[in-house]
């Protein structure tokens, strides 16, 4: 039992000493991780892989920026071409409207009401009611016109 | 509307026309002499429906017209129209005169047959 207590004491004392050293080292160190090896705090970033990764990030950043710029350029070009198409379509529509208005202005509109009525209601002229109000001579002429002449 | 339909409407209008004598004359001139059986049939029916002495004479005593038409369809339609008249007195009178006095044997025989039919139907 005695031996067990002593060994526990010794271990706790050793832990306390290591903690003090680490606290001292943390004050001086710039390493945010505070990594220590056998009680010695690493003062600088000595990992090769870390340096490499930082370089890669920068390169990736450039690549990303370049991609963004080219994307913007592509967008500008497509936007311009679309805008040109829209503008030309608008111009064509405006031209057509003006042409139509001009044509309407130059067109003389006359209404042949009798002809229009006959065209709209072709059967009305030959309705029994309408025919009964005509003279027999008129009916004779109409009938003769409808009968094919025998040669 | 085709020409036949227009002519049918003209015939119908002539049947209702106020100027009855002029309408009968036109029906006799153009309708009964039409080469189209349908037009002749409709003309004969219209003339019979008028039920006047002048209109009935055309379809009862004229050779080749009305009941004497060479087309059985026209002749039968004319007889049916005569049988459906409400007042048959004028038609019977003309038929009797035709049986007695007409110069053509065929016309007399036809008139006799139709007269018999009218007697049985009334």
- Of B75, B55, B76, B57, the closest CA to residue B66 belongs to B75
**Tell me: the pLDDT tens digits for A74-119?**
788 888 888 888 889 999 998 899 888 888 888 877 777 767 776 7
- A120: contact with B, CB 8 A cutoff: no
Which of A128, A135, A140 faces B9 most closely, judged by CB atoms?
A128
Residue pairs between chains A and B whose CB atoms are closer than 8 Å: 52
Half-sphere exposure of A43 (CA within 13 A, CB side): 2
Angle, helix B3-15 to helix A136-146, in steps of 10 degrees: 160
Select from A138, A139, A148 the residue whose CB has the most chain B CBs within 10 Å, as the one to mutate to test that interface.
A139
Extended strands (E) in chain A: 36-37, 40-41
Minimal C-alpha gap between B69 and chain A (Å): 20
Predicted TM-score (pTM) of the model is 0.56
ipTM: 0.87
**Tell me: the pLDDT tens digits for A33-64?**
555 555 555 555 555 555 555 556 677 777 77
- A140: contact with B, CB 8 A cutoff: yes
- A122: contact with B, CB 8 A cutoff: yes
């Amino acid at each position: 039992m005695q031996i067990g207590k002593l060994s526990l004491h010794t271990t706790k004392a050793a832990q306390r000493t290591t903690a003090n050293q680490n606290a001292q080292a943390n004050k001086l160190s710039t390493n945010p991780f505070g990594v220590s090896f056998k009680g010695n705090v690493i003062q600088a970033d000595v990992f090769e892989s870390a340096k490499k990764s930082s370089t890669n990030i920068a390169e990736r950043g450039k690549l990303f920026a370049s991609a963004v710029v080219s994307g913007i350029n592509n967008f500008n070009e497509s936007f311009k071409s679309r805008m040109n198409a829209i503008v030309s379509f608008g111009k064509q529509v405006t031209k057509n409207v003006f042409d139509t208005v001009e044509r309407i202005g130059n067109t003389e509109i006359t209404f042949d009401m009798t002809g229009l009525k006959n065209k709209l209601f072709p059967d009305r002229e030959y309705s029994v009611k309408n025919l009964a109000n005509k003279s027999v001579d008129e009916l004779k002429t109409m009938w003769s016109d409808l009968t094919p002449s025998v040669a | 509307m085709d020409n036949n339909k227009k002519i049918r409407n003209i015939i119908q209008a002539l049947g209702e026309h106020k100027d009855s004598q002029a309408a009968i004359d036109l029906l006799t001139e153009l309708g009964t002499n039409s080469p189209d059986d349908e037009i002749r049939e409709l003309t004969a029916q219209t003339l019979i429906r008028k039920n006047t002495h002048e209109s009935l004479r055309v379809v009862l005593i004229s050779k080749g017209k009305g009941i004497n038409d060479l087309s059985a369809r026209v002749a039968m339609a004319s007889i049916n129209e005569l049988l459906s008249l409400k007042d048959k007195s004028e038609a019977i009178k003309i038929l009797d005169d035709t049986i007695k006095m007409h110069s053509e044997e065929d016309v007399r025989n036809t008139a006799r047959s139709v007269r018999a039919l009218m007697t049985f139907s009334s």
